[in-house]
Amino acid sequence: MNIQYTLELLGTGFFAMSGAVAANEKSKPDWFGVTFIGFITSIGGGSIRDMLLGSYPLSWVADVNRIYVIIGAIIMTSMLYGYLKKMRKLFFLFDSLGIAMFTILGTEKALQFGVNPIIAAIMGMFSAIMGGVLRDVLTNEIPVIFRKEIYASACLAGAVTYLLLNNVHCNRGLCLLPSVLVILVIRIAAVKFNLSLPKYKQL
């Protein structure tokens, strides 16, 4: 099991936990409902990316370990729910790491399919955020991309950083680390200093 695969499974688990917490806070559903929301949160973005790219079978269909991780994360959330509610900052950091990793991995996968770099950046962003968007829709929340905090644009910035470094033929490690850090720094700074993009106005 290589490091990348381990990180993917960890990210899948953290996203499933965030979905379970969000579902439980909103409507107190049964175990099936929480598991469904956790499942959609963790695999939704990657599934949309793969369908748009024509990559079959979908990652969770090809690798049952992702299902095991999601189920394990749901059970762990139930056991540690009280602690998770108190560890908001740590949970935020894990979520930020998750979107950073999935953005770059999604961008890499899109490039492997020979798409335009602009499309690859969008696919990377979809990988990271669409699971959260689906989670918010299903729990009757305003989708995360419509809230004030910088979220999707941080993913795009990281994807563009990766593409620029990849274009000058940096090795994979030198492409990956700075790109992840760009997303983390933007996300943390946006929340800490209450930063947001300019509001849309009619000209």
> Residue 159: what pLDDT?
97
Is pLDDT of 1 > 60?
Answer: no
> Residue 129: what pLDDT?
94
Q: How far is CA 112 from CA 104, 108, 165, in A?
A: 13, 6, 16
Query: Mind listing the pLDDT tens digit for each residue in 35-76?
Result: 999 999 999 999 999 999 999 999 999 999 999 999 999 999
Angle of helix 65-79 relative to helix 31-53, nearest 10 degrees, comes to 140
Average pLDDT, integer, range 89-111: 88
What mean pLDDT value characterizes the chain?
Answer: 89
Share of the chain above pLDDT 70, in %: 96
Is pLDDT of 82 > 70?
Answer: yes
Is pLDDT of 81 > 70?
Answer: yes
Task: Parse the chain into domains and list their residue ranges.
Answer: 3-192
> Residue 169: what pLDDT?
86
The reported pTM is: 0.88
Query: Mind listing the pLDDT tens digit for each residue in 111-164?
Result: 999 999 999 999 999 999 999 999 999 888 888 888 767 889 999 999 999 999
Q: How far is CA 17 from CA 37, 82, 200, 203, in A?
A: 10, 13, 33, 42
> Residue 89: what pLDDT?
81
Separation of alpha carbons 109 and 40, rounded Å: 20
> Residue 196: what pLDDT?
85
Task: Tell me whether the omega of the peptide bond preceding residue 57 falls within 30 degrees of 0, making it cis.
Answer: yes
Share of the chain above pLDDT 90, in %: 55
Q: Is 150 exposed, middle or buried (0-12, 13-18, 19+ CB in 10 A)?
A: middle
> Residue 173: what pLDDT?
80
> Residue 130: what pLDDT?
95
